[in-house]
Amino acid sequence: ENGIQRPKGHKVSFHYNSHVEDMHFGKTHPMKPWRLTLTKHLVLGHGLQYAMDTYEAVSAGTDEVRKFHAPDYVDFLRQVSPKTFPELCKIPRFTRAIPPKHEGDSVELGPYNLSTSPGADCPVFDGMSEYLFLYTGATLAATHQLTSGACNIAINWSGGLHHAHKAEASGFCYINDIVLAILDMLRVYARVLYIDIDVHHGDGVEEAFQRQPRVMTLSYHRYGPYDETGHKFFPGTGDLEDIGLKGTPGEHFALNVPIPSGIDDRQYKFLFEGVTGRAIEAFNPSAIVLQCGADSLGGDRLGQFNINIKQHGECVAFVKNQHLPLLLLGGGGYTARNVARAWCHETAIATDNKLVDKVPYFVPRIEAFKGRAHGDEKMYPSFERLHKNECKDADLEYMVKKLEHD
Ligand code: VJV
Ligand code: CA
Ligand code: ZN
């Protein structure tokens, strides 16, 4: 109807389960699963479902999640809810994972960096267990479609939770679906390239494969002091000098692109295409995983970049043009309307479609867009309030040269 067509020459599969939308991390917590509702409604409103095979995701199994995560951590996540949390915290098997309390800590942390305090990064909330295993199940189903050859591009916008560690939640991430996906891909592909355009460093994925020469991790992220407070931008890792664990086969198989605040489209394109292009040339991957965190967009509640949806999408297009099996995952993104616009746009890119330059007439729950004029909404809004630009061209050129050498 909108001229949406199936792509010629490749197949795309889309994995989702609407139950992830019902979750609430807490009233003012920045992570809003309903951004996935907005994304779904834009994707369906534009008719992109006709261009892909769509699958309803089922929960990941305990054994599948244990391929990376510690058995006790997985058991804890299976059972945890606000009701069971206090009792679980007393079980000796789990108390080992309670971090020591420091003077002046505002949030009380339980086992595995989980907490029921309102200000916590990784809260325990109702339905959390179902949510975690569902987004992981969607990523694993997407991965399976790729590795079995059923499609060339597989998408799960509810996945991409790159900070989770083997036995610890971190930065809104509990299960590292990316690590699980890559482990599964290594059974079929000789080399997997992981690219991460979330504004935060993909530390959990880098750490998991720091000794592994068959996986190259490449993260673009804000790095350095957060603001005048002197605190570092989360998670504080991902320096230019970090290239994989020294003295192991994994040395030289991690790349980091630390970026100052305010980077714009032109600068980001220069960095992304320069570094990614060289990495692909040197590493010669058999498949690619792209984490498409949308908190690198301008106007994001937590991010500090000035990237427009157009450039964010061009990163996806650049990777797609390598014509390798491609897993597209979500990640961060805290200004929900822009997250939905970006991921819908990127679904269109994956399926070789161009979207009409207006919000589709049939968008259920239109009240979710409250406060924005709709009549002349553009797919590529430019952000009125830009972050202060501290990103100098000369530094970027230095970085591309340095990384080329690495
Ligand atoms: O900066 C941090 C860590 C602190 C300790 C915990 N307090 C809450 C915040 C400061 C040092 N955490 C970051 C985590 C960012 C995670 C990004 C995840 C992804 O996009 O890369 C992938 C999905 C952080 N930045 C902002 C907040 N936390 C934040 C957390 C809240 C909050 C406001 C801001 C948690 C609860 C509530 N408000 C109510
Ligand atoms: Ca990143
Ligand atoms: Zn992020």
Residues forming a β-bridge with 257: 220
ipTM value: 0.98
**Is there a catalytic annotation at residue 201?**
yes
pLDDT, position 97: 92
158 contacts: CB under 8 Å, gap ≥ 6: 16, 17, 20, 33, 36, 57, 134, 135, 138, 330
The region of weakest confidence among 32-36, 83-87, 380-384 is 380-384
Cα separation values, 359 from 4, 45, 66, 158, 364, Å = 15, 8, 42, 22, 12
Average pLDDT, the chain: 92
pLDDT, position 1: 56
Q: Does domain 12-58+127-405 have CATH number 3.40.800.20?
A: yes
374, pLDDT greater than 70:
no
Residue to substitute in 116, 121, 122, 221 for testing ligand 1 pocket (most ligand atoms within 8 angstroms of CB): 121
Mean pLDDT of 156-173: 98
Query: Ligand 1 — pocket residues by CB below 6 A?
Result: 26, 28-30, 118-119, 121, 161-163, 171-173, 198, 200, 234, 293, 295, 302, 331-332
Measure 59 CA to ligand 1 centroid, in angstroms.
Answer: 26
Mean pLDDT of 85-96: 95
355 contacts: CB under 8 Å, gap ≥ 6: 2, 46, 344, 345, 348, 379
Q: Which atom of ligand 1 is nearest to the CA of 28?
A: 39
Catalytic residue among 163, 201, 221, 312: 201
